[in-house]
Amino acid sequence: MPKILIEDWSLIPFREAWTRQEQYVREIQQGIRSSTLIFCEHPSVLTIGREGGEHHVTVDPDVLAMQGIEVIPINRGGDITAHNPGQLIGYPLFNLSEFREDLHWFLRSIEDITIQVLEEYGISSGRVDGKTGVWIENERKICAIGLHCSRWVTSHGFALNVYNDLSIFETIIPCGIPDKEVTSISNEVGNMIDMEDLKEKCRKAYYEYFK
């Protein structure tokens, strides 16, 4: 049996997913649920991590409200980012005591897996010194990562741009970094990506990495 379970919540509002995450985390802490990786997508929303602030929102809140885009401060690490349909969200709710009690190692593991999966699409990616996430040519961010950890159980996770509308990132300074671009898998390869195929690649990679 694999050490981790994987669930797909499909398209789900951010606040609903956050509530469900917190319930799963409590169950993992109580030992009544295994470590679980959640895949999902969110309707358009901006989330601000502990190192961020609303000063990195570049559009008037009233304009965002008219577009139905909520701005939500949350308890993950990192700065501000955007989510919308066509972006693969991964929430690894893992008991690190079963793997390694090292949050830095876990974050780098998520980066490693993402880099590996992108290679299957012919995309060469990597890290940028001093920054989290996965980047193309050190200039274009394709995957944002922000984690929270309580009693060695993680929550929140990664946001991998697949074929989502990247114009949403024009409403913010992504991750608080003004001089870098944002990209997606579809942008890099020049065609539409099958989300279910991507999820299957990610499933295999996570099962293999955390076996």
State the DSSP code for 98: G
Would you state the pLDDT for residue 152? Answer: 97
Would you state the pLDDT for residue 54? Answer: 79
Catalytic member of 40, 149, 175, 202:
175
Q: By the 8 A CB rule, do 115 and 125 touch?
A: yes
Q: Does domain 5-209 have CATH number 3.30.930.10?
A: yes
Structure tokens at 126: 């990597």
CA pair distance 57, 60, nearest whole angstrom:
8
Domain ranges, ordered by start, for the chain: 5-209
CA pair distance 207, 3, nearest whole angstrom:
8
Whether the CA torsion 40, 145, 172, 142 is positive or negative: it is negative
For 156-177, how does the pLDDT look when each residue is reduced to its tens digit (9 = 90+)? 999 999 999 999 999 888 767 7
Would you state the pLDDT for residue 1? Answer: 55
Q: By the 8 A CB rule, do 18 and 74 touch?
A: yes
CA pair distance 37, 93, nearest whole angstrom:
6
As a three-state string, the secondary structure of 42-60 is CCCEEEECCCCCHHHECCC
Would you state the pLDDT for residue 194? Answer: 97
- Establish whether 175 is a catalytic residue: yes
* Global confidence as pTM: 0.95
Would you state the pLDDT for residue 180? Answer: 82
Q: What is the pLDDT along the chain (211 residues), one digit of tens a residue?
A: 568 999 999 999 999 999 999 999 999 999 999 999 999 999 999 999 888 777 888 888 888 988 999 999 899 988 889 999 999 999 999 999 999 999 999 999 999 999 999 999 999 999 999 899 999 999 999 999 999 999 999 999 999 999 999 999 998 887 677 778 999 999 999 999 999 999 999 999 999 999 8
